[in-house]
Amino acid sequence: GHLDHLLVICKTGLDLEEQLALDRLNSLWQPGGKPEIRCTPLKWSTVEKLLEPATRFTNSTPFIPPHHYRPGRGDLGDWVAGQVVLECRNHGLPAPVRINPVRRLSIRGRDIAWLDFRRNRKGDSIRHEYGGFEIEFAQPVRGPFALGYGCHFGLGQFRPLGSGEKNA
């Protein structure tokens, strides 16, 4: 439930100046008098060498569709699944062959409700909670990856599922 790793991915690669900027990042400030988070670079690599391919993924943070649902757009569950497919396409991923809803995040022996996550930017109205999914691709893709509204801020993060692993 706490930040313990930061993975920075750049599809086009980082130039020397960008690498040096990340290398100089030694701490992250926290509000409320909490101690700073110390940063230590562990590895520089390519996506192909760093990320393992898998066919099954599940959320680690809530998926928030980039578009708003309105009555008349069909069944809510089907519409949200369509938003997952759309986001996969927008992020250069193949269309999933299976999308199953997941009621709660189960990780490291804990069950966490999707509503426990902050799903909006400071000052913005609260985004509706759509929750999580287990998605499966026909061929392995590299992950983790993030999809949907706020994916660049950590929402909609999908992590690979190991064989036999299942979310709640």
Q: What is the pLDDT of residue 150?
A: 83
- Strands 52-59 and 132-143 turn out to be antiparallel
pLDDT at residue number 6: 75
Q: Which residues contact 82 (CB under 8 A, 6 or more apart)?
A: none
User: Whole-angstrom distance between the N-terminal and C-terminal Cα of the chain?
Assistant: 17
- Residue 59 in contact with residue 87, Cβ under 8 Å? no
Per-residue model confidence as pLDDT tens digits over 3-40: 677 777 777 788 899 989 988 888 888 888 888 888 88
Apex CA 8: angle with CA 7 and CA 11, to 5°? 130
pLDDT in tens, 64-97: 888 888 888 888 888 889 999 999 999 999 999 9
| pTM recorded for the entire structure | 0.72
